[in-house]
Structure 1
């Protein structure tokens, strides 16, 4: 697939920018269609009332006032039905919705969004993203399964997160599985020695441990995600030189991985603790 020309919103000579701000203040200043890959790991339903922004329709023709979703229903109708179903969801989606609208605008035509959520919000987000991006733009539901955490005894222990993957253009998105690090076969004796040595391509279920409390990756940031998970995402859905955006940047894992793989990046976070961690982790980045 040919490389598409795209705007370059990076500062001259800089491979990475880290911006301390409310992401909703920064996102409208970035150029439409300039980002190949967006990874988002937002707070898991904070329950706080957040600042609202108008719900501009991004998939509709000018003046239509709604986003046509699956089965001919409008985006507003689908959202309203879900809000009536569960009042507790309202504040969270009011927080997340305007940021996802900006994500859609910023994605290049061949771009991809990875939205990282837990089990409490993923089902709501899937329905709303089907309406917002279009159901045909849904690419995958990735299950990241891990092996540490609480040991529930009154239900099945929760040991996974969900990553929803949507593309801007289902006929022209970039994806290259051959660049992704392979993983061991679970039954290597059932394949040839050559195939066993090479490993197999990952599926939509990713077994990967959380960041070890004593490992080299550990930054001390409470919601830090492992580099192995982000590495797989960046490898598959961006090329060298492409721009990667994370506007819930946290510990800066997205930037660290993007930089190591030769991608440019923009990270946004308003938490001073996150900025302090990223200053140590990403010393070559430009901080604003």
Structure 2
């Protein structure tokens, strides 16, 4: 095995590297949780520009806010990456094979995709992990953005959940946030107060364009979504891995929940965002090409 910058008793890491070069440097079974949100192969460029509001004391800003206060809109860095591959599956398959190798015996993989590729990924993961290791398909449903008029509007992503060993995987439903009952009058007051466990359909908003979570990175996922994954499938002190880390949401959640993490991305804009977001909780490292 090539020398690695990671150590089981070392620091959390943000790694600037091609994951195809970095993953083989890691030892077998090192991670309890792997969450990956790879490019969806949409065939188009993804981009988002940071914006922030600055109070304009003179009252002649371009936006009016709370109590009539005037604000200037300041445009920041434009983050962009190409979400198109001529051979998507030869790109993704070896990385998923590495994910299987890197999972501990009680570990779990969450693969976040959308309707374009998820059915192919299910067949691929059945072959890599074994069909008996399939745990769930989670539907993340949201209600935001434009609505098509010539078909049913697409407002969900798919998350495939596979375990390394179906007899030993870690899953703690007691740690998962609960949801309000849709018909609270039909349950006891005690149940109504406690709430119900989520099913495999998760209703959760996207990252608010004006919220504190927003980093400006395209396709950033909300912390609430990833928090549920981390809570259910890892324990405090466990190592978590995201090798398509983007804005570093897994690292942000893991740091808040007492887990250790490695976030990997080859794009410099992603590293810049994660250095700002996770720099207090992780070392920034790099892995030279193989």
Fold similarity call, TM over 0.5: yes
| 2:190 aligned with 1:194 | yes
Point out the structure with the larger helix share. Answer: 1
CA–CA distance in structure 2, aligned partners of residues 191 and 236 of structure 1: 25
Deviations 1:176-213 (A, max 9, x none): 11100111111111111111111110000000000000
Q: What do you get for the CA RMSD once the two structures are aligned?
A: 1.8
Which residue pairs with 1:116 in the alignment? 112
Instruction: Confirm or deny that 1:127 pairs with 2:91.
Output: no
Aligned to 1:10: 7
Partners of 1:108 and 1:275 lie apart in 2 by: 27
Equivalent of 2:243 in 236, 239, 247: 247
List alignment gaps of at least 5 residues for structure 1: 1-7, 49-87
Partner of 2:151: 155
Contact preservation (8 Å) 1:39, 1:245: yes
Q: Tell me if the contact between 1:133 and 1:166 (Cα under 8 Å) persists in the aligned partners.
A: yes
State the distance in 2 between where 1:126 and 1:32 align. 23
Of the structure 1 ranges 134-143 and 187-196, higher mean CA displacement relative to structure 2 is found in 187-196
Matched, 1:19 2:15: yes
Q: In the aligned structure 2, how far is the partner of 1:95 from the partner of 1:280?
A: 29
Structure-2 residue corresponding to 1:236: 232
The alpha-carbon deviation at position 283 of structure 1 amounts to 1.9
Query: Conserved in 2, the CA contact under 8 Å of 1:41 and 1:116?
Result: yes
Question: Computing the radius of gyration over CA atoms, which structure comes out larger, 1 or 2?
Answer: 2
Residue 207 (1) aligns with residue 206 (2): no
Encode CA deviations 1:105-145: one digit per residue, 9 max, x unaligned.
00000000000000000011111111111000000000000
**Aligned pair partner of 1:261 in 232, 257, 260:** 257
Which sections of structure 2, spanning at least 5 residues, go unmatched?
A: 45-83, 286-290
Q: Show structure 1 runs of 4+ deviating over 2 A.
A: 8-13
CA deviations 1:144-201 (Å, max 9, x no partner) are 0001022101000000000000000011111011100111111111111111111110
Which residue of structure 2 aligns with residue 94 of structure 1? 90
Number of residue equivalences? 241
Report the TM-score when normalising by structure 1. Answer: 0.81
| Alignment match, 2:40 | 44
